[in-house]
């Protein structure tokens, strides 16, 4: 029975991602974001449970990536697709060329750029499954980190009282830049540290403790605005750590 526990947690991730997709299509980004967070929680603990129970296997590895593809691939792509439609400085549906009107589903073609995130996530997850170098660290930005960055944007736009930040997220140039940069980072040959602990000594895990401590401070002080900043900090800290290790 215990060998099925990690897979049930993975299926919990997939269930959350599937329901989040429905809410994202409806434009309910708050509930979609909560479900993505819950899915990422399941994603973290399925691997943890597999290691504790010593039941890791190829089936679990493939199932994990398939669930991540929905929760951290499809959902952020749809959210970015919808965000591009609401950009006030972008030609709206009334003025932009329309496609797929035969399906009664009209959208500006530039919105399709949001789905680059989905394609990039799919390619990254496929590479992860066949890459033996990513057992203790990551090569490229993990898809859950990309997903957290994206789901935070409409929530910051909704709840932040800082007008300049709201305007930035509404700007289609910023959104397109975020799409291109995140898609690249997911598949770049860029070593990033993992938050998995084999042991808890300060000496061997200093970079992880620094990241966790500063991230907690940012969360308490900046709240929602801190989420994309933490992802950026994670990448920058990994780059600095890699340079120190090679010098």
Does the pTM surpass 0.85? The reply is yes
The per-residue pLDDT for range 130-177, each reduced to its tens digit, is: 877 766 678 999 999 999 999 999 999 999 888 889 889 989 999 999
18-52 per-position pLDDT tens digit: 999 999 999 999 999 999 999 999 988 887 777 77
Residue that is written with structure tokens 């403790």 in the block:
209
Residues 215-240 pLDDT 10s: 999 999 999 999 999 999 999 999 98
Q: How confident is the prediction for the chain on average, in pLDDT?
A: 87
The DSSP annotation for 58-101 comes to HHHHHHHHHHHHIIIIIHHHHHHHHHHHH-TTS--TTTS--B-G
- What average pLDDT score do residues 116-135 get? 87
Ordered by where they begin, the domains of the chain are 2-94+105-193 (1.20.120.1760)
Q: Which two tokens stand for residue 109?
A: 């073609």
First to last CA, the chain: 49
Whether residue 80 contacts residue 62, with contact meaning beta carbons closer than 8 Å, is answered with: no
Q: From CA 204, how far away is CA 208, in angstroms rounded?
A: 9
Contact predicate 146/76, CB 8 Å: yes
Q: Tokens for 35?
A: 């479900």
**Per the structure block, which two tokens stand in for 75?**
């959902």
Tens of pLDDT, residues 53-111? 777 777 878 899 999 999 999 999 999 999 998 876 555 444 455 455 545 567 778 88
CA separation, residue 203 to residues 70, 138, 176, 199, 209 (Å)? 37, 20, 40, 10, 10
């Amino acid at each position: 029975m215990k060998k099925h526990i990690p897979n049930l947690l993975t299926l919990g991730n997939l269930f959350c991602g599937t329901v989040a997709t429905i809410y994202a299509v409806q434009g309910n980004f708050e509930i979609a974001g909560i479900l993505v967070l819950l899915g990422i929680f399941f994603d973290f603990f399925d691997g943890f449970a597999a290691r504790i129970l010593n039941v890791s296997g190829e089936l679990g590895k493939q199932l994990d990536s398939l669930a991540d593809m929905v929760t951290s691939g499809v959902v952020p792509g749809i959210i970015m697709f919808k965000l591009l439609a609401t950009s006030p400085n972008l030609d709206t549906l009334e003025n932009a060329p329309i496609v797929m009107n035969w399906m009664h589903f009209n959208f500006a073609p530039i919105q399709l750029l949001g789905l680059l995130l989905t394609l990039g996530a799919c390619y990254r997850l496929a590479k992860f499954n066949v890459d033996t170098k990513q057992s203790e660290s990551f090569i490229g930005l993990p898809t859950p980190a990309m997903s957290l960055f994206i789901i935070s944007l409409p929530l910051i736009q909704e709840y932040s009282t800082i007008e300049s930040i709201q305007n930035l997220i509404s700007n289609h140039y910023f959104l397109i830049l975020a799409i291109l940069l995140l898609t690249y980072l997911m598949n770049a040959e860029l070593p990033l540290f993992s938050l998995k602990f084999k042991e808890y000594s300060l000496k061997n895990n200093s970079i992880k403790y620094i990241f966790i401590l500063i991230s907690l401070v940012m969360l308490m002080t900046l709240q929602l605005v801190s989420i994309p900043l933490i992802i950026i900090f994670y990448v920058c800290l990994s780059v600095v750590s890699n340079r120190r290790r090679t010098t």
